[in-house]
């Protein structure tokens, strides 16, 4: 069975939403709150450690009703079933999409081509656990017999962003190992990391689903060459491990068979941190914490799969996002975590959201004439308040934003936490209400300055308030966004799990690379030709 192929703009609910938008788009959130004292409660979902308040959105009960009708009309329920049951929903690549299996309990059954993949998943998890323990406890040693002090994760895209974001986010739970991430083909990146390493005590984790990625292989080779300057060839077996689906290439690189952690083609790169791709996470915070992360994600999976759409967090967030993207024509969304630990969260989400839903051909193979994937960006508060918040508050663009906060801080400095949380709460309130001319005057402003001090307000936000930044809650949060991506892809009638758009640039780069050593050049546009020659002239 394949995914439904409903053009969302041809549904009844879409037409209703368009008419409804024409009626309500100028309503002010302030008035919506004044008209309905129960609004905040009506538009809040409390689930587990999550308190999700979506009342500060430019929606009414009718909006939600029509959006939910849209979810039904595009057959979202069937699509969710198809995904969880291992159907080949990544049709353009001919693959199932089962990152949810990676975090399911051992007793679950997820079948690919009729075979339950859970035993394989748990075999790899067991291998990760044993390996993690040996490294963390110092039983596994480098080539001179010393315990490991440093771990270098070599990967890019999904083989870097997820592990890097999570290791940063769970810094509080970290052990004695120092972790480094090498991703960019920019040789200065790897060389800056090398400066911090001791070859005797460094473990290298090469992560590449395909094991063909230029950046990762180049960086791995550079690190191997540096390592072999002081270590014998046999030491590679002790200090290099790999995570990949391409066992043949990994072996050809010289990695010991026992040091290969397999993954599967039914795990997309940007959804892979739950697999052995997360080995560096497990090394950094211990397998137990890694497993808690997975358990949290599994809780969100269950919520997403079983909860009615009206109170289903990823579904509601996805629908609201479609509302702004396709009716208000908002171009981007901001994600603002009020936690310094989540400073790489938006960067991580950029791949998840934009590589998945940046598509312009529908599931029937036809060009699309409506907007799809949103642009995603953000930085932690309170820093971002002193950077781009001016534009959100008083600029001309509508930027719906997710505010993510944690009730409890990890180090327990309550004075800081209260200040942080006061900012967290104040910003969404300010974005909602704005400040009227009358209020500006009442504050004492006079004359020409008055218009500059007015805030229109009516800027939409979701507040995702979570009890505490634990591995489990982080797992839930990441999975929440993964499911939001899926729901939006279903509504927009696109394939979210391929990424052909990254190929063209790669192909051209490999052609251009060859031209650097030739006197002649291939055919290029005049601009590229000039630039290429400029580079070659040095």
Number of residues located near ligand F6P, criterion CB under 6 A: 14
Q: Are 236 and 179 in contact (CB under 8 A)?
A: no
As a whole number of angstroms, the distance between CA 423 and CA 382 comes to 7
Q: Which residues contact 455 (CB under 8 A, 6 or more apart)?
A: 393, 394, 430, 433, 434, 435
441 binds ligand F6P (CB under 6 A): no
As a whole number of angstroms, the distance between CA 529 and CA 233 comes to 43
213 binds ligand F6P (CB under 6 A): yes
Q: Are 54 and 39 in contact (CB under 8 A)?
A: no
314 binds ligand F6P (CB under 6 A): no
Report the residue number, 438 or 502, with the smaller CB distance to ligand F6P: 502
208 binds ligand F6P (CB under 6 A): yes
11 binds ligand F6P (CB under 6 A): no
Kindly tell me which residue out of 210, 360, 371, 394 binds ligand F6P, with binding defined by CB under 6 A. Answer: 210
Q: Which residues are catalytic?
A: 355, 386, 506
As a whole number of angstroms, the distance between CA 90 and CA 496 comes to 8
Report the residue number, 207 or 346, with the smaller CB distance to ligand F6P: 207
Report the residue number, 58 or 270, with the smaller CB distance to ligand F6P: 270
Report the residue number, 269 or 405, with the smaller CB distance to ligand F6P: 269
Distances (CA, A) of 25 to 21, 398, 403, 462: 5, 12, 22, 18
Q: 3-state secondary structure string, 321-390?
A: HHHHHHHCCCCEEEEEECCHHHCCHHHHHHHHHHHHHCCCECCCCCECCCCCCCEEECCCCCHHHHCCHH
159 binds ligand F6P (CB under 6 A): yes
Q: In which element (H, E) is residue 299 found?
A: helix 287-306
* Stretch binding ligand F6P (CB under 6 A), from 41-49, 99-107, 202-210, 362-370: 202-210
Kindly tell me which residue out of 58, 180, 209, 303 binds ligand F6P, with binding defined by CB under 6 A. Answer: 209
Question: Minimum distance from CB of 272 to ligand F6P (Å)?
Answer: 7
Q: Are 353 and 374 in contact (CB under 8 A)?
A: yes
Report the residue number, 254 or 358, with the smaller CB distance to ligand F6P: 358
* Stretch binding ligand F6P (CB under 6 A), from 2-10, 203-211, 297-305, 324-332: 203-211
Q: Are 173 and 286 in contact (CB under 8 A)?
A: yes
Question: Minimum distance from CB of 12 to ligand F6P (Å)?
Answer: 36
Please provide the DSSP assignment of 65-92 as one string.
HHHHHHHHHTTHHHHHHHHHTT---BTT
Question: Minimum distance from CB of 494 to ligand F6P (Å)?
Answer: 16
Residues 165 to 194 in contact with ligand F6P, rule: CB under 6 A: none
Q: Which residues contact 428 (CB under 8 A, 6 or more apart)?
A: 56, 403, 461, 463
Structure tokens at 109: 């059954």
Lookup result for tokens 């394989």: 120
Question: Minimum distance from CB of 214 to ligand F6P (Å)?
Answer: 9
Question: Minimum distance from CB of 124 to ligand F6P (Å)?
Answer: 16
Q: Are 469 and 341 in contact (CB under 8 A)?
A: yes
Residues 269 to 308 in contact with ligand F6P, rule: CB under 6 A: 269-270
462 binds ligand F6P (CB under 6 A): no
Residues 119 to 158 in contact with ligand F6P, rule: CB under 6 A: 156-158
Distances (CA, A) of 421 to 381, 399, 406: 10, 21, 8
Question: Minimum distance from CB of 297 to ligand F6P (Å)?
Answer: 18
Report the residue number, 156 or 480, with the smaller CB distance to ligand F6P: 156
Report the residue number, 267 or 404, with the smaller CB distance to ligand F6P: 267
Question: Minimum distance from CB of 353 to ligand F6P (Å)?
Answer: 13
Residues 493 to 532 in contact with ligand F6P, rule: CB under 6 A: 499, 502
Greatest distance between any 2 Cα atoms in the chain = 79
Question: Minimum distance from CB of 243 to ligand F6P (Å)?
Answer: 9
Binding mask 343-382 for ligand F6P (x = CB under 6 A): ------------x---------------------------
Report the residue number, 345 or 406, with the smaller CB distance to ligand F6P: 345
Report the residue number, 11 or 153, with the smaller CB distance to ligand F6P: 153
CA atoms within 13 A on the CB side of 266: 24
* Stretch binding ligand F6P (CB under 6 A), from 42-50, 65-73, 204-212, 432-440: 204-212
Question: Minimum distance from CB of 248 to ligand F6P (Å)?
Answer: 14
As a whole number of angstroms, the distance between CA 88 and CA 500 comes to 17
* φ, ψ dihedrals at 468, nearest 5°: -160, 150
Per CB under 6 A, residues contacting ligand F6P are 156-159, 208-210, 213, 216, 269-270, 355, 499, 502
């Amino acid at each position: 069975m394949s995914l439904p192929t409903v053009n969302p703009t041809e549904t009844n609910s879409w037409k209703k939403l368009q008419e409804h938008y024409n009626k309500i788009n100028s309503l002010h959130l302030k008035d919506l709150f004044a008209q309905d004292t129960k609004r905040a409660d009506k538009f809040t979902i409390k689930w587990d450690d999550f308190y999700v308040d979506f009342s500060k959105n430019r929606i009414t009960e009718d909006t939600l009703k029509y959006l939910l009708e849209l979810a039904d009309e595009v057959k979202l329920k069937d699509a969710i079933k198809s995904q969880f049951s291992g159907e080949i929903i990544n049709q353009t690549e001919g693959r199932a999409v089962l990152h949810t299996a990676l975090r399911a309990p051992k007793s679950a059954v997820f079948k690919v081509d009729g075979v339950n993949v859970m035993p394989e998943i748990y075999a790899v998890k067991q291998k990760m656990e044993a390996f993690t323990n040996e490294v963390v406890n110092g039983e596994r040693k480098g080539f001179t017999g010393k315990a490991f002090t440093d771990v270098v994760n070599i990967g890019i895209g999904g083989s870097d962003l997820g592990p890097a974001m999570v290791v940063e986010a769970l810094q509080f739970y970290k052990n004695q190992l120092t972790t480094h991430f090498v991703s960019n083909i920019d040789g200065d990146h790897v060389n800056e990391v090398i400066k911090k390493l001791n070859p005797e005590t460094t473990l290298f984790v090469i992560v590449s689903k395909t094991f063909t990625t230029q950046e990762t292989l180049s960086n791995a080779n550079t690190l191997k060459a540096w390592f072999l300057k002081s270590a014998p060839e046999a030491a590679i077996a002790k200090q290099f491990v790999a995570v990949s689906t391409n066992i043949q290439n990994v072996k050809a690189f010289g990695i010991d068979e026992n040091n290969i952690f397999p993954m599967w083609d039914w795990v997309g790169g940007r959804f892979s941190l739950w697999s052995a791709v997360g080995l560096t996470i497990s090394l950094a915070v211990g397998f137990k914490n890694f497993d808690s992360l997975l358990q949290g994600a599994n809780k969100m999976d269950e919520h997403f799969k079983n909860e009615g759409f009206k109170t289903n967090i990823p579904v509601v967030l996805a629908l609201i996002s479609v509302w702004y993207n396709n009716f208000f024509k908002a171009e981007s969304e901001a994600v603002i975590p009020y936690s310094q630990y989540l400073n790489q969260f938006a960067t991580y989400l950029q791949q998840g959201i934009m590589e998945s839903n940046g598509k312009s051909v529908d599931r029937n193979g036809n060009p699309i004439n409506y907007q799809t994937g949103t642009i995603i960006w953000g930085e932690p508060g309170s820093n971002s308040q002193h950077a781009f918040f001016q534009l959100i508050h008083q600029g001309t663009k509508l930027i719906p934003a997710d505010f993510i906060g944690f009730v409890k801080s990890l180090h327990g400095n309550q004075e800081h936490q209260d200040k942080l949380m006061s900012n967290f709460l104040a910003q969404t309130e300010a974005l909602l209400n704005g400040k009227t001319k009358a209020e500006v005057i009442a504050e004492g402003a006079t004359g020409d300055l008055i218009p500059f001090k007015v805030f229109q307000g009516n800027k939409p936000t979701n507040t995702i308030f979570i009890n505490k930044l634990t591995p489990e809650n982080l797992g839930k949060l990441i999975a929440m966004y993964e499911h939001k991506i899926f729901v939006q892809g279903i509504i927009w009638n696109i394939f979210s799990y391929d990424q052909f758009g990254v190929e063209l640039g790669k192909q051209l780069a490999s052609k251009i690379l060859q031209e650097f050593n030739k006197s002649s050049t291939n055919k290029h546009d005049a601009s590229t030709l000039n630039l290429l020659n400029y580079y070659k002239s040095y």
